Amino acid sequence: MNGNMNPKNINILNHLVFKEPTKEQVHALQKIEDFLSYKNSDDFMIVCGSAGTGKSSIMNAVVKYCEDKHIKVNIAAPTAKAARNIASKTGNLARTLHSLLFSVSTKPDKALIQYSLKTDYEQQYSVFIIDESSMINSQVVRNSEDELFMCSISLLNAIVQFAKSGNPENKVIFVGDRYQLPPVGEKHCNALYMEYLKKRFDWRGSHIELTIPSRFHTSSYIYTNAEGFRNSMMNDTVMPKFDLPNAGNLNNTVSSYLKELNQFGPNKVVSIAATHRQNNLFNHKLRTLRYGKNAPKLMKGDVINIKRNWNRGAYSLYNGDMALVMDVDYNNQIIVSNLNYIPVQLKVKDMNNENVIITDYLLMECLDHGTGSLGSMKENKLYAERYRKNKTYRVSGKIEDDRYLGALRASYGYSITCNSAQGGEWDTVYLNTFYIPCPQWAYTGITRARNNLFIY
């Protein structure tokens, strides 16, 4: 901040990067400026809007405004992918909600990881910006993919409790698109509904809806298709048909995808499908075309999707992160509890969106699963064995203190589910339309694309 600038004279509109903001963007910033005032007693504000309407740019202005006003800001998102995305757009560090809200403990002899809500001891008035809030669950739901993880509180409840534990005057800004996929097991994105927050938590707050696009031109076929599905949900009408370029059959799509991958590299192109089975078929065909029928299960150049949080010393990876395989050392493969572990070297993005190289063992049995879980029987057998054999882990209970429990778990990352893609953006997206579970699925898939979108 300019040392001669009086915080009382700071105008939030001066921090907007748009040269010619729309009227609704100006209105939104003015409402947020009033909301952030110490005189305003509201607890929350919801900033809703479809992809490309300027939500991230508005939050960028909010962050810079708060810095000049000496207001502490915490930026978080449900996934590391979403956190990196908002961090790159605001120029500020963002965290995953789980790292912000929870401490982790384990029962060393069993495959059970417990999340416990932290207390915020920061007493300074703070604002929490929660991006991709459509992904925030309001109910405690367990499924086969997280059967080894225990948490007695929903993310939404945890945000509400944590935000107010440091200073009761703290405020929360929920940012997102309520027409995207809701959390697993829920019908609505409750964190983005004002009446739900008021009734459930006795909070006061308001809502802003952004409708005018800035990322997509209104004539863009991506925007046109997204709006078609969004309008059908708003008006409760029949789901429209896709009006998108068709990449052809699966073989043609895989061939086109591979050309994009070879030319632009990973993190620029992705395929999205509704089921793990569809993704496995795509991933298998692509790897066969790329490496041949008899290629090893993992090769240099493979793109993988991290399926369980990983930590070794100064580096951390999170569920949903994409990684490029730089090396695979089959000569030093190890079998532990009838499971195959292979040393690998990966290129990944850290939370500052910088490339880093990490080396560790990777659990090969997870590659075809689409999830990071082996099932409770195999998991408990592995944990019990490592508890007996590793004294350091037996004392600490931290899985990172065991080479095999803390090993990398990943699946192939060429084609992923829409839930995994949520919170991310790619230059080119190939959308599998063989099975469309709901209009939210289609809308979410469409809006993952920045420049190019194909169906197959």
Taking only the tens place, the pLDDT of each residue in 199-209 is 999 999 999 99
DSSP H/E element including 22: none
Greatest CA span in the chain, whole angstroms? 68
Q: What is the DSSP string of 246-313?
A: B--SHHHHHHHHHHHHHHH-TTSEEEEESSHHHHHHHHHHHHHHHH-TT--SS-TT-EEEE-S-EEET
Q: Count CA atoms within 13 Å of residue 194 on its CB side.
A: 12
Reduced to 3 states (helix: H, G, I; strand: E, B; else coil), residue 367 is coil
C-alpha angle 172-173-177 in degrees, rounded to nearest 5: 140
Closest CA to 401 of 415, 412, 386, 411: 386
pLDDT at 290: 97
Reduced to 3 states (helix: H, G, I; strand: E, B; else coil), residue 119 is coil
Q: What is the DSSP string of 120-154?
A: ----S-EEEEE-SGGG--SS----GGGTTEEESS-
C-alpha angle 74-78-81 in degrees, rounded to nearest 5: 95
pLDDT at 106: 73
Parallel/antiparallel/unpaired status of strands 410-412 and 355-363: unpaired
127 DSSP β-pair partners: 73, 171
Q: What 8-state DSSP symbol labels residue 366?
A: G
Indicate whether 24 pLDDT > 80.
yes
* Mean pLDDT score, 128-135: 97
Q: Considering the chain, what is the average pLDDT of its residues?
A: 91
Dihedral (Cα; 49, 53, 59, 64), 10-degree rounding: -160
Indicate whether 166 pLDDT > 80.
yes
Residues 401/383, Cβ–Cβ less than 8 Å? no
Judge residue 216's burial from the number of C-beta atoms within 10 Å of its C-beta, 0-12 exposed, 13-18 middle, 19 or more buried: buried
For 262-297, how does the pLDDT look when each residue is reduced to its tens digit (9 = 90+)?
999 888 999 999 999 999 999 999 999 999 999 999
pLDDT-derived band at 156, boundaries 50, 70, 90: very high
Type of residue at 251: N
Residues 225/63, Cβ–Cβ less than 8 Å? no
Indicate whether 1 pLDDT > 50.
no
**CA 326/CA 35 separation, integer angstroms:** 48
Indicate whether 2 pLDDT > 80.
no
Whose tokens are 């029962």? That residue is: 107
Residues 298/328, Cβ–Cβ less than 8 Å? yes
**CA 397/CA 383 separation, integer angstroms:** 10
Type of residue at 446: I
Indicate whether 67 pLDDT > 80.
yes
Residues 61/15, Cβ–Cβ less than 8 Å? yes
Type of residue at 397: G
C-alpha angle 341-318-250 in degrees, rounded to nearest 5: 75
Residues 376/147, Cβ–Cβ less than 8 Å? yes
For 212-239, how does the pLDDT look when each residue is reduced to its tens digit (9 = 90+)?
876 555 558 998 999 999 999 999 999 9
Reduced to 3 states (helix: H, G, I; strand: E, B; else coil), residue 173 is strand
Helix 80-90, helix 55-68: angle, nearest 10: 60
The values of phi and psi at residue 120, to 5°, are -85, 115
For 76-127, how does the pLDDT look when each residue is reduced to its tens digit (9 = 90+)?
999 888 898 888 888 888 999 999 999 887 777 777 778 899 999 999 999 9
150 DSSP β-pair partners: 114
pLDDT at 120: 94
Percent of the chain scoring above 90 in pLDDT? 73
Residues 6+ apart with CB under 8 A from 404: 334, 336, 337, 339, 341, 361, 363, 382, 386
**The overall pTM is greater than 0.85:** yes
Percent of the chain scoring above 70 in pLDDT? 95
Task: Give the count of beta carbons closer than 10 Å to the beta carbon of residue 146.
Answer: 17
C-alpha angle 429-365-104 in degrees, rounded to nearest 5: 85
**CA 101/CA 159 separation, integer angstroms:** 7
pLDDT at 8: 62
* Mean pLDDT score, 69-75: 95
Token pair, residue 150, equals 């225990």
